[in-house]
Amino acid sequence: MFRFVKVKNSKIYDFIFIGAGASTLQIINNVILSNSFKNFSILIIENDENKVNDRTWSFWGNTDDNFCKSFIAKEWNKICFKSKDFHLEESLHPLSYKMIRSAPFYDGVKKLIKTCPNIIIKFDSFVSYFEEKNYVNIKTVKAKYKSKFLFNSVINWNLILNQTKYPVLQQHFVGWFIKTDKEHFNSEIATFMDFDINQNKKTSFIYLLPLNKKEALVEYTLFSKERLKFAEYERGIRSYLNKNNIRNYSINEIENGNIPMTCYPFHKHNSKRVLFIGSAGGWTKASTGFTFSSIRKKSEKLVNYLKKNDDLSKFESKNRFWWYDLLFLDVLSKYNHKGSELFTKMFSKNKLEIILKFLDEETSYCEEIKIFLSFPRLLFVKQLIKRLIRSTH
C-alpha cells in the first residue's frame, strides 16, 4: 500500500516532475483524471518558459479511441510505404494514423493544471539531485527542493553515448511545413516511410504528412549514429520535392529533432524514490523512435502503480520485445546502409495490421516468428550469436 505522509504547508512535495513535456504532461493528465491524488502536493519544474509548437506527434490508434481526441489536428485512414522496388498503400482500418501539434497539447494540459490547487509549475532549470532515506533533494538554478518522489524527464545523452555495450542510433530529422501553389498531395494518405531517395549509405527516408491537397509536413529522416548538418537535411527535402515536381511552395514552419534509438537500460538509474520517464526513461521504442503512444501506456500504468506502490525501482520490467529491438539495432547499426532493404522486407512480407501490432508489442509468438522470417536470416543469426557471446562476458 502506498503510504504518503501528507505534510501541509511544508516544502516537502509529494511528487516533483522535471520537465513539462510529453511524458510529464501525460502523467499529470492521468493523475488529475484519476482523482486519487488531490491531496498530493505536486511541483513541475520546466526550464523553457516559452515552449511553442516545437514538435508534431503522430501515432496510430483505434479510430474510435478517445485518447487526446481534442488535440488531434489530422487523422489519416491510409498509409503508404515506398522503396525502390516496393510500394504499399493500405487502409489502416480499424486504426487510423493521428497527428497532434505540441502547442495545443501543452496549453490544454496546463489549463487543466490551473484548475488544480495542488499542482504548480515553476520555470527554473534542474541541475542535480541526491537521495536521502526519506526524500530526494533537488537542486535547480534558482532554488533547492525536497520531494518524496522525483520523476525526471531530462535525458542525459552522455549516459548512452559514453557506453559501447548497447548500440545507439538516433532518429534525426528536419521537417518543413510547406504550402504549394498547386494541388500536389493526397490528404487521405500519410507516407510512413519513403525510402525511394538517395540512401547515402545510411538508413534515410522521407516522412510525408499531408494536411490537405496543398499543405504538408515533409521530413527528411535518418536512423543512424551521427546527426547531419542542418543544410544536408534541407537538401534532402528540396531534392525530394524537386523529384516530385513540387517547385513552387512557401515554408511556413520548420521542425527538427533527434530521438534516441537504443536499448540502453535506462531503468537501472531508477530507485525507490526516483523514476526516469519519457525518452529519459527508455520509453522510446528503440527500433522506431515512436514514443508518444508508449508514453500513453506507461503513464496509465504508472498512475495505477502509484495508487498501490511506494517503490519506483520496481516499476519497469523488461519484455521479449526489448531483445527483439536490441537485435534489430545491432543489425541496423552495423549495416546502416541496409535499412531500406530491411524495412522493405518487413512491409512486403507481412500484413500491415500485424506489423503495427508487433511495433505495439502486442503480437503472439507465432506472429513474431513470421516477422523474423521475413528478414535476411544470416545477417540476424550472425548478430544474434555475437550478442549472445557478448552478454556472457
Ligand X SMILES: Cc1cc2nc3c(=O)[nH]c(=O)nc-3n(C[C@H](O)[C@H](O)[C@H](O)COP(=O)(O)OP(=O)(O)OC[C@H]3O[C@@H](n4cnc5c(N)ncnc54)[C@H](O)[C@@H]3O)c2cc1C
What does the binding site for ligand X look like in residue numbers (CB under 6 A)?
Answer: 18-24, 45-48, 55-59, 125-126, 153-154, 255, 257, 259, 278-280, 290-292
CB of 225 or CB of 370, closer to ligand X: 225
CB of 96 or CB of 383, closer to ligand X: 96
Q: Which residues have CB under 8 Å from 123's CB, separation 6+?
A: 45, 46, 47, 48, 49
CB of 54 or CB of 196, closer to ligand X: 54
The total of other beta-carbon atoms located within 10 Å of residue 35's CB is 7
218 by DSSP, 3-state: which?
Answer: strand
Ranked by CB distance to ligand X, the top (closest) residue is: 21
CB of 223 or CB of 292, closer to ligand X: 292
CB of 46 or CB of 215, closer to ligand X: 46
CB of 248 to ligand X, least distance (A): 26
CB of 125 or CB of 248, closer to ligand X: 125
Burial of 49 (0-12, 13-18, 19+ CB in 10 A): exposed
CB of 299 to ligand X, least distance (A): 10
CB of 101 or CB of 338, closer to ligand X: 101
CB of 287 to ligand X, least distance (A): 13
CB of 119 to ligand X, least distance (A): 16
CB of 234 or CB of 310, closer to ligand X: 234
The sign of the torsion formed by the CA atoms of 310, 312, 316, 317 equals: negative
Which H, E and C letters describe 78-102, residue by residue? EEEEEECCEEEEEECCCEEEEEEEH
CB 269 within 8 A of CB 258: no
CB 45 within 8 A of CB 17: yes
Show the cell assigned to 48: 523553457
CB of 56 to ligand X, least distance (A): 6
Q: In 3D, which of 21, 100, 54, 51 has the Cα closest to residue 256?
A: 54
226-229 contacts, C-beta under 8 A, 24 or more apart: 226/170, 227/170, 227/172, 227/258, 228/172
CB of 108 or CB of 376, closer to ligand X: 108
CB 129 within 8 A of CB 143: no
CB of 215 to ligand X, least distance (A): 17
Q: List, in sequence order, the alpha helices (H) in the chain.
A: 22-34, 102-114, 157-161, 230-243, 292-308, 320-334, 339-349, 352-359, 365-373, 377-391
Residue found by looking up cell 510529453 in the block? 22
CB of 193 to ligand X, least distance (A): 13
CB of 29 to ligand X, least distance (A): 12
192 by DSSP, 3-state: which?
Answer: strand
User: What does DSSP assign to residue 116?
Assistant: -
CB of 185 to ligand X, least distance (A): 18
